[in-house]
Structure 1
Amino acid sequence: MQLAAFLQFLRYEKRYSEHSCRAYATDLRQFNAFLKEKYELEEAKAVNLGILRSWLVELMQQGRASSTIHRKASSLQRYFKFLMQEGQLQENPMQALQLPKKKAALPHFLAEQQLAKLFSGPYFEADFPGQRDRLMLQLFYQTGMRRAELLGLRWTDWDAGLEQLRILGKGQKMRIIPILPQLNAALAAFKALAEESLANFDPKGPVILNDQGQAPYPKWVYNKVRQYLGLVTTQEERSPHSLRHSFATHLSNQGADLQAIKLLLGHSSLAATQVYTHNSLEQLKKVYAQSHPKAKKKK
């Protein structure tokens, strides 16, 4: 498999994020291992529909979620398309593969009261690590940014005067996110603390650094968020994306325009944002059941 050339194409021509490139690499290496083990094949050019169906069956037998299978299939689809562009394949064998129906997964989010408890509670120390953790969670919840976007956020992306952040999103698309005065003040206070605490502080460098003043790994961010969210919720899904979902859900519940939420999240399609209307409808049903005279049960 011409995996190295494909990843170079994604990274430098399509300008995919490092996180996306790693995901593609993992999916394709797993498929390559399947080809070697089951069919003693070294490259994807010999793949046919029968092989793809057996790969699909194996994933299903492993208990992989339909969303995971669809993601892996998307990686293969993109790779075979690349091979066709390079003249290595005449047609894309994925075109005829029928995938299992993808279940519509509702986003996992925290209640407003839970996040209010987190930010008002005694969970963050006053030192650099504690205030760094607090700011990291604030940025996720108050802007809806993705983990990769947070890791790419630099001090030069913050405009304190205009109270806004410049975010580099998927596909190297830039968007501007307005921030509240509270978050603007938190950024100013943390920058002053970082200058005082870190000998190697770079005013043009990343906003979020680990305890050693270095750029953290994505897993480090995930573990930090999971740890803190565990203080206020017992739900299993506790990740940076949970805070992104909470941001969008709470905006929707408060009546924010769906198009505005789309722009804030950096979605390319409104369809990706519409999932948050479900939670708003559930909230409306709850209010209706509690408030409307005809909905109240007779005692």
Structure 2
Amino acid sequence: MIADFVRYLEAERRYSPLTVRNYRHDVEQFLAWLGVDDARFEPQRITTDDIREWILYRTETGRVSAASMNREISSLRALFRWLLRTGAVGRDVVHPIPSLRTSQRLPAFVPESRMNGIVSECECDSEDFVRERNSLIILLLYTCGLRLAELVGIDRDDFSADFSSLRIRGKGDKERIVPMLEFVREKILHYIGLIERQNICISSEKALFLTHKGKRISRTAVYRTVQEELDRAGVQGKKSPHVLRHTFATHLLNSGADMREIQELLGHASLQATQVYTHNSIARLREIYAKAHPREKGGK
């Protein structure tokens, strides 16, 4: 059953490998809690009360956060929708279960003044392959707002003929086109020339980001690279590829970009996902207001 469900997620829903892995793990955990394996699982006997008990067990005994629990609920929701569709069950027992309330957390981002210094350093060309690759990783994450998986998945032929735009394959295998800023375009051309001059890639590997052995770089390596680069630049707080994606969106919004345009550039399916960045913008406005307004400056 699980194998068929996974094939459905991969082939029809076109979920990313990471999402499929998480959904499979969540379903297997649920079965383990029931005390059955895949072969002995009888989905038609599961009730909505069983799902509620599972949630209580995970949140109270397992101390799972509301956000993590909502993902596990989504996994079971996908499973039972698929079972209903295939006729294995007569009703969707997860449908009555609402998502748990979560606290609204503002996305972490790098201040513009700090990011300007990082970008300036990344612009400098060198003949050091690793240095150039790491600089380009930072630049593409920040100037294009890419997800980690999207960055790792870039092939050199995903660029337009003149390298002025990039075709991205996002969540659900949806494609979008993002423009390249001129200085980033020049950096890409320099980096690709470096790969050729130093014979980094002598096989048929088409990936843009390579290891020094010419293989596609891993997600772990990119994550570690971003952490090291931001730490070296003195960035405080969380340091990850997604922080650079948040930084991209926040800086665009603060500079007056339209919310719909930001949504398209980020590849969000709905505007609601993009609107979280308005909170960062309002927080910035409050900070400016507190520093500049005469009543705040002069006291009450």
TM-score by shorter chain over 0.5:
yes
- Deviation string for 1:242-298 (max 9, x for gaps)? 110000001111111111101100111111111111111111122222223233224
Displacement of 1:29 after TM fit?
A: 2.1
CA distance in 1, matches of 2:43, 2:211: 40
Contact 2:127–2:194 under 8 Å retained in 1 = no
CA distance in 2, matches of 1:63, 1:225: 30
Contact 1:32 1:43 in 2 (8 A): no
Cα distance in 2 between the residues matched to 1:118 and 1:64: 36
* Corresponding residue for residue 242 of structure 1: 243
The residue type paired with residue 86 of structure 1 is: T
The equivalent of 2:84 in structure 1 is 84
Using the TM superposition, give the Cα deviation of residue 129 of structure 1 relative to its aligned residue in structure 2, in angstroms.
1.5
In the TM superposition, residue 145 of structure 1 has moved relative to its aligned partner by 0.9
1:255 is aligned to 256
Give me the whole-angstrom Cα distance separating, in 2, the residues matched to 1:157 and 1:202: 18
TM-score (norm 2): 0.90
- 1-side partners of 2:236 and 2:292: how far apart? 29
Counterpart residue number, 2:50: 51
Deviations 1:94-137 (A, max 9, x none): 12224431222221111122223334459997421221111111
2:118 alignment partner in structure 1: 118
**Residue of structure 1 equivalent to 2:28:** 29
2:157 is aligned to 156
Question: Is contact 2:205–2:214 with CA below 8 Å preserved after alignment?
Answer: no
Contact 2:203 2:214 in 1 (8 A): no
- The 2-side partners of 1:46 and 1:209 are apart by 50
Q: How does 1:66-85 map to 2 (within 5 A)?
A: 66-85=66-85
SS state at 2:178 partner: strand
Tell me which of 226, 233, 236 is aligned to 2:235: 233
Name the residue aligned to 1:167.
Answer: 168
User: Within 1, Cα distance between the matches of 2:128 and 2:140?
Assistant: 18
**CA distance in structure 1 between the partners assigned to 2:125 and 2:59 by the alignment:** 43
Deviation larger for 14-23 or 168-177? 14-23
Q: Structure 1, unaligned stretches of length 5 or more?
A: none
Matched, 1:144 2:145: yes
SS at 2:189's partner residue?
A: helix
Q: Which moved more, 1:171-180 or 1:109-118?
A: 109-118
2:7 aligns with: 8
Q: Distance in 2 between matches of 1:118 and 1:44?
A: 53
Distance verdict in 2 for CA 1:125–1:200, change over 3 Å: closer
After TM superposition, the score normalised by the length of structure 1 is 0.90
Partner of 1:95: 95
How many angstroms apart in 1 are the aligned matches of 2:65 and 2:212? Answer: 36
The answer on whether the counterparts of 1:124 and 1:133 sit within 8 Å (CA) in structure 2 is: no
Structure 1 residues 64, 117: CA separation in 2 closer, same or farther (over 3 Å shift)? farther
User: What percent of counterpart residues are identical?
Assistant: 34
Instruction: Work out whether residues 125 and 187 of structure 2, in 8 Å CA contact, stay in contact via their aligned partners in 1.
Output: no
SS of structure 2 residue aligned to 1:166: strand
1:188-235 Cα deviation digits (max 9, x unpaired):
000011112335346871111223211233222222222222222231
Q: 1:186 to 1:42 in 2, by over 3 A?
A: same
* Corresponding residue of 2:59: 60
* 1:116 alignment partner, SS class: helix
Count of aligned pairs between the two proteins: 296
Q: How far apart are 1:77 and its partner, in Å?
A: 0.2
Q: Amino acid of the residue matched to residue 191 of structure 1?
A: I
C-alpha distance in 1, partners of 2:44/2:211? 44
The alpha-carbon deviation at position 88 of structure 1 amounts to 0.5
Distance 1:124 1:66 in 2: 45
3-state SS, counterpart of residue 235 of structure 2: coil
Residue 32 of structure 1 deviates from its aligned partner by 2.3
Gap regions ≥5 residues in structure 2: none
Cα offset, 1:37, TM superposition: 7.3
Structure 1 vs Structure 2 CA RMSD: 2.5
